[in-house]
A and B are shown apart, each in its own frame.
Chain A
Amino acid sequence: MKEHIQNFIVVTIAYLVAFALTTAVIAPIQSIYLSAVPPAISLLFLPHGVRILAAYFFGWHSILYLIPSGYLTHFLWIETQGVDLDLTAPMVSIIASYIGVKLISLIPSIGFRDFNMSAWKWLLLAGFLGSIFNGLGHGLLQNEFSLSTQILGYAIGDVSGQFALMIALIYYFRYIQKSV
């Protein structure tokens, strides 16, 4: 039980920090320099990286860990953006990410434990798949499909956000190593 609480706290903090950075730092910069991109689409959506890494490390438990932070940010997003999103949207995003990672882990030669295959590249592919499922799921919820915004927009933003988060982890570990 203690382990689940620890994991839950780590995932929740990581998700909330990633969401705060995306909305408070990345979104304003995007609206200035890339104003043609719809505000609903973040071209560097860091929380997707948290969802994928959580699914990779904690399996199906990640779904439970992510629900509170997913819903909290969902309501914050609705409040600040004034958009109307389905109540099940956060669940769709969380489950889509889990399915993306699960599908990739089913390829026997990759496996969860095999690091000789550059696991990070497979995780990016899992992030891409998860993002596609997420886009399709949101399309179903909103009853409209747009290849450019819902599928490609999400995929670009999610995968680049995941990549940026993983790069940030490199520098985080480097910083920790130097400060110890």
Chain B
Amino acid sequence: MPRDLKKLAKLKLLVTRMEADLGLSEHSHLNRSLVTAVADLNSKRAGCASTSDLLEHPLLQEFSRPSIFRALKAMEVSGEIKKVGPVRGYYAPAQ
């Protein structure tokens, strides 16, 4: 790899780490918006937020459908949100 590319990669790594540490990354922005949307729908729809409602939520309009689905899965694994109800596609904030 040319040395100037190595330096660019080094700079990118530096700012990416800073972005993540400060909570400025697009990923953390999506996560925060998703948790807020789940909590908002949760308070309106008797304890759960459906995937279709989340996709239409104003806070999530700037994100693509695949990004939202990926984030939902990752946040369910990390315990930030949980699945609720007998059928798939319903979420609530983790207590």
Q: Using a CB–CB distance below 8 Å, which chain A residues touch chain B?
A: 3, 6-7, 53, 57, 115, 118-121, 123, 166-167, 169-170, 173-174
Say how far B2's CB is from chain A's closest CB, in angstroms: 9
Interface size on B, residues (CB 8 A): 17
Q: Using a CB–CB distance below 8 Å, which chain B residues touch chain A?
A: 3-4, 7, 10-19, 21-22, 24, 26
Which chain B residues border A7 with CB–CB below 8 Å?
A: 4
The reply to whether B15 and A170 form a contact with Cβ atoms under 8 Å apart is yes
Which chain B residues border A120 with CB–CB below 8 Å?
A: 14-15, 17-18, 21
- Chain A interface, >50% SS class: helix
The reply to whether A118 and B17 form a contact with Cβ atoms under 8 Å apart is yes
Given contacts A3-B3, A3-B4, A6-B4, whether A169 and B17 have CB atoms under 8 Å apart is: no
| Contact count A vs B, C-beta below 8 Å | 40
The reply to whether A169 and B4 form a contact with Cβ atoms under 8 Å apart is no
Beyond A120-B15, A166-B18, A173-B15, 20 additional pairs, beta carbon < 8 A: A3-B4, A57-B7, A57-B10, A115-B14, A118-B17, A118-B18, A119-B13, A119-B17, A120-B14, A120-B17, A166-B15, A167-B18, A167-B22, A167-B24, A169-B11, A170-B15, A170-B18, A170-B19, A170-B24, A173-B12
The reply to whether A115 and B11 form a contact with Cβ atoms under 8 Å apart is no
Bound together, the chains give a CA A6 to CA B21 distance in angstroms of 31
Bound together, the chains give a CA A115 to CA B12 distance in angstroms of 11
